[in-house]
Structure 1
Amino acid sequence: MASVKKSFEGLKGTTQSAAKGVTESTVQAAQDAVQQVAESSKETTKLATDEANRQMQTAIGTAAGKATDSIKDFGQKLGSK
């Protein structure tokens, strides 16, 4: 009877160790997933910011070009008077 009890105690310890290992692995996997989502979010935000900056620079360049053309036209009109 003592050997059966000892066997059950050993099995209990093994089961608890296995459950602890599974729990730790699950927690680690969840932490890794959260980290990946956070990094992906940062990357997406950076890409969106970079694109917005690029579009803003293009718009500024276009507006500056149009302003320059308008000033030149105005100067030519003044010069011809």
Structure 2
Amino acid sequence: MHVGFNMEGISYFAKLCRNNMAYDSYTLAIALKACADACLLRTGKEIHAQTLKKGVDTTSFVANTITTMYNKCGKA
């Protein structure tokens, strides 16, 4: 995937958060994947914190995406 598309996706996710709009575990997983593909560790950590707040960090596909994000960003 191109970095531009990843950045666009992360930008949309940030807008959701700023506007207090609802999002689910699928949205979080997609945002984490975009961070992984663009190697945006800091942003990925912030989104990881959101998964913890929502209690979806142990959902299998979210947990796998979190692990992938840290691995791709070199922080396994």
On whether the aligned pair clears a TM of 0.5, the verdict is no
Structure with greater Cα Rg: 1
Q: Which TM class, normalised by the smaller chain length? A: under 0.3
- TM-score when scaled to structure 2? 0.25
Between 1 and 2, higher relative CO (CA 8 Å, sep ≥ 6) is seen in 2
More helix per residue: 1
- TM-score when scaled to structure 1? 0.24
